[in-house]
Structure 1
Amino acid sequence: MASIPKSLGDYAVLPVQLPQPQSIAHLPPATHFLYVRRNAPKIATADDDRSLFIANAPVDSTEEHFRALFGSLVGPGRFESISFEEERRRQRKQAAGGDDFDDDSESDFEGFDTAAPRRAASLSDLQSRKRKREGGDKEDREESRRSAMNALRQQSQLPATWPQSLRRSGGTAVALFADAKSVEIVLKAVAKLHKASAQQYPAWPSASLGAPWLAGHNRMNYPNREDLRESVDAFFALFNQQEAEAAELARRLRNVPDEDGFVTVTRGTTGGASRGGAARQQEAALARAKQLAKQERQRQDMTNFYRFQLRERKKEEQLELQRKFQEDRKRVAAMREKRGKFKPEA
């Protein structure tokens, strides 16, 4: 068996033994490697001296798993909490107002409101920007409305279909300990593990994956019909409410200029032969006329674009002049002949 390196760069290698399923109990247990170092973020915080940065966290990691792992290494009472990569990214987005985007992350739709229609979302964003400029005189009513919407949104969520959500493979986490001395003790305990045999590596707590995890998924794929009906009803109630609010907001914003003097362009109602329909027909006819004029200008511009086209045009003009000259000669000859035969009466 190849020797395990004690460190990789700034990271100390922490080997752990994964639980062995009963189906392959005759095989040696698998070893998973965690990589730990002192936490040194780009923006320093007050807890950096008592925290560890952990890389290559297992996909089923939870706070209880790491609490049991570090408890087996250095004893209970030193580990406080842990924040995983997804949680830190969510906190950064909330701190940045929801505009932060991590290029290394996968698509994250946790903050996306799937029940919000596109028109309602755009108009709500416009209304929020105008409310910030106008002041906070309607904050109380808006806060109560937002609370009701959040309650309805939570009720509209479909039942979960997995017993436990998995994390991204090779994810990171930041473990917080009681003090800086606890971090030193953990790093020393990790260094001592490489002097022991593989049988003495700390064991990862009981796995939540495997056959029980899939069996739980199979059971949760068939939720109670009443719970499912309530979620669907709440979803459509939220959808219809947001659509109604968007229509009302569009009606109020149609002819109301903002503080800069601009009027928000919104989609009007369609009512047969209404003003909106007639205006749209006139705009379509005008756009069609502009398109035809543009095509005619392009055709004229391309008429004498090449040299051979100029030669052909000059040749055609010369032939046309020759034809007209011959016609004029014939006309003059006919007039002369007619004049010569004229004999006035005596």
Structure 2
Amino acid sequence: MQKEQGFKALPLRVSSASTANHYVYVKQHSIRNFDETKPPDRTLFVLNVPPYATEDSLKHSFSPAGKVEAVILQNNNESPNDGFKRAYVVFDKRESLLKALKLESLNPLSSDSAPLKAGIEKWTEEYNASICSPKDLQNKINRFMASYDKRENQKKTNKTETTDDEGWTLVTKRGRNPGVARKESVGEKLNEKLKKGSKKKELKNFYTFQIRESKMKNIVELRKNFEEAKKKVSLMKQARKFRPY
């Protein structure tokens, strides 16, 4: 098998009936920073993984080397749009990794126990899986509406104002600030404030003729002030005249 930049090329077929080989490139995984999910002494780094490959199918392909603990699939950083991926195949033992590096061939991706679906069959299945069934949709709607009704009822409860027998609104202790204690001294202070406020709110010039009379008085007062201002201006002008003798 060919080797390039430390990688070894291995043929990979889709199924046992397929005659076309797709090549993947493998080598032992090595990293600068340790990652517990990809231990270097048990992880095989695989490039050029076809887009239709799955974790289960790769486990089956590399099973001749030993038990595969996990497969981590990722998109290629260099060419993320071509669909091909890279994989980290983690074996349960170091010996299995060493054996995988010596493999000359791999199991097909598809097997009788775990058949691999590709092409139209795969796309059809993915499309059908993306459509929510009527039952699941109804369950989602029911959960949403139950949550919505609960929030609305809570809002109504928080805004509810209780009233006494005479129709007066009772102040409750809901909200951020607690209510004022109903003491006799507090009641007297409130009554005094209400009396003072009522005096300030006494209506003035309630009738139309009172408003008209008030306007006339204001006009007369303005005219009087205007005439007095004219006299003052005239006296000031006379005082400014130049008198040499």
The higher-RCO structure (CA 8 Å, 6+ apart) is 1
Please indicate the TM-score interval, normalised by the length of the shorter structure: 0.3 to 0.5
Structure whose residues are more often strand by fraction = 2
Query: Which structure: larger Rg?
Result: 2
Question: Structure 2 length as normaliser, TM-score?
Answer: 0.47
Question: Structure 1 length as normaliser, TM-score?
Answer: 0.35
Structure whose residues are more often helix by fraction = 1
